[in-house]
Amino acid sequence: MNTKKILLGAFVVLIGLGLSSFTDKDDDRNFQVAKNLDIFNAIFKELDLFYVDTINPEKMIQNGVNGMLALTDPYTEYYPEEEVSSLKEMITGKYGGIGAVIRYYEKKDRIAVIEPVEGMPAAESGVKAGDVILSIGGKEMTRDGMKPQDFLEKVSNALRGEPGTSFILKVLRPLKNDSTVMEFKLTRKNIRNNPVPYYGMVQDSVGYLALSSFTDNCAKDVKKAFIELKDKGAKALIFDLRDNGGGSLQEAVDIINLFVPKGKEIVVTKGKLRQAAGSFKTTNEPIDTEIPLAVLVNGITASASEILSGSLQDLDRAVIIGTRTYGKGLVQTTRQLPYNGTLKVTTSKYYIPSGRCIQAIDYAKKNADGSVARIPDSLTNVFHTAAGREVRDGGGIRPDIEVKGDKFPNILFYLVNEDLIFDYATQYCLDHPVLASIDSLQITDADYADFKKLVKAADFTYDRQSEQLLKTLKEVAEFEGYMEGAKEEFKALEQKLNHNLDRDLDYFAKPIKEQIAEEIATRYFYQRGAAIQRLKDDADLKKAIEVLASPEEYRKILSGPDMNVKL
């Protein structure tokens, strides 16, 4: 018998079995998809026909869609036709409106303007932070039982519209001891959120540039600002990506291209489908490949911001300063759906120059209760920068220099949330119609005393975490039988943790004053003023200036391991 024929026959049979296995798996999956779609469709029809009350088909199907998407990740979202404009705004940073930030103002049960945007219709017409919106185009803006968030959306939609259209905005403006109704004729225009809210020289030859988002064409804004800083004498640059949640991957690559040579591979994407795989390289001649760079990051620095900071770290092109970043290594694309809807869906993971993916959470491995956890450091892998420095995947970008900032105190959260800092800033601006410069802004002891009076007059109270935890501990001690022997200790601890508003306002005076000053700076000098005010006492900035001022330390941080053999 011919052995070759026997082996060949067996090989063909094995291939046939393998193909049959794959075909069976595909057929079974297709059957499961079709089966469950039929079940979903049938259940809805039965409910619509037989349920005792009339159901809302749009709401019910939407809840079904939301439940389905909840099994994926937070970035995979469905946008029905009426919400597609918000997705486009997120991507482009553009919308038709008046250029003003608004929020629900509980004291008046209305929507208030909290920040007109510099140079936009609201600011140009005289609308100010603190103005309470009464009507838009003759239509009263009242809550009428709506949830605050829905009310906010209602007012926002009324303010937006086609560029060139006009309307009358009626507001209630606070005065020193009263208020007055004012009207403004506003003409909508194309509004573009400025991705570079501030740039300037921070010390001698050190330039500073803040980037708030990666919207369309933001790389051009960064390039323009960078060239201007160089013209002003910048010999080093601090790039601030703190609180930047990301955006366009391509814009991140284009910004990196300002500092690294043409032809460098920056990002590789990998997904289930071939279309999700890609390579992003620098395609232009850079502006400056030698200027020392420091990049500021924090826990909200995410996505495209992590591509920028992580790639510059992998290429040993910048010193990263701050706290560990968020850890979003996923890429989304948009898919068009019937009836003009859009699905934003995660299609791939991205990998930066060292080969690492910095995704911190594996959404495919959810707990029984639906929760997810970050990848522990013990399960991350070591990669190497171009110079051989160790970096790790999973868990975001770890800074080269970690700077632990001050924690946001609990009392400050409540002061902001209850609009007390907002109200004080409104009062301050009424008492100080003109502020000569941002440098002259200082919250004095007398100013802070006035603020404390306002807080006390509002009967301000807040939940203290220590009191909540002590209450829980007492309940546990009682349950486990330890309370009898620990009564005196608990009593002493209760006395030490006694709620004392005066003490808390004094103890946390520094961060509260900083928040007040930033709010006031925004009133006079818009986003630019707020940015300058924040930088007055900024630990990350100080460390960046220190590193950039020492070429030896800068080179040491970015150098690889010493490969010289000592004999």
Whole-number Å distance between alpha carbons of 327 and 324: 8
Residue with tokens 């869906």: 345
Residue with tokens 């004291």: 107
Q: What is the DSSP string of 230-243?
A: HHTT-SEEEEE-TT
Assigned token pair, 333: 């694309």
Catalytic residue check, 88 = no
Q: Cα dihedral sign for 390, 392, 397, 399?
A: negative
Q: What is the DSSP string of 247-290?
A: B-HHHHHHHHTTTS-TT-EEEEEEESSGGG-EEEE--S--S-SS
Find the helix or strand (DSSP H, E) in which 143 lies.
none
Of the listed 213, 303, 348, 354, which one is catalytic? 303
With CA atoms as reference, report the closest residue to 154 among 167, 168, 144, 169. 144
Q: Using an 8 Å Cβ cutoff, are 156 and 101 in contact?
A: no
Q: If DSSP codes are grouped into helix, strand and coil, which group holds residue 9?
A: helix
Q: What is the DSSP string of 351-386?
A: E-TTS-----B-TTS--TTS---BPPGGG--EEE-T
Which phi and psi angles does 207 have, rounded to 5°? -95, 155
b/e per residue, 341-380, with b = 16+ CB within 10 A?
A: bbbbbbbbbbbbbbebbbbbbeeeeeeeeeeeeebeeeeb
CB atoms closer than 10 angstroms to residue 41? 10
Amino acid at position 114, single letter: I
Of the listed 170, 264, 328, 543, which one is catalytic? 328
Whole-number Å distance between alpha carbons of 286 and 481: 70
Catalytic residue check, 328 = yes
With CA atoms as reference, report the closest residue to 237 among 553, 547, 561, 555. 547
Of the listed 314, 393, 423, 538, which one is catalytic? 314
Residue with tokens 């006009």: 166
Q: Using an 8 Å Cβ cutoff, are 311 and 266 in contact?
A: yes
Which phi and psi angles does 278 have, rounded to 5°? -165, 165
β-strand partners of 268: 279, 351
The residues assigned a catalytic role are 303, 314, 328
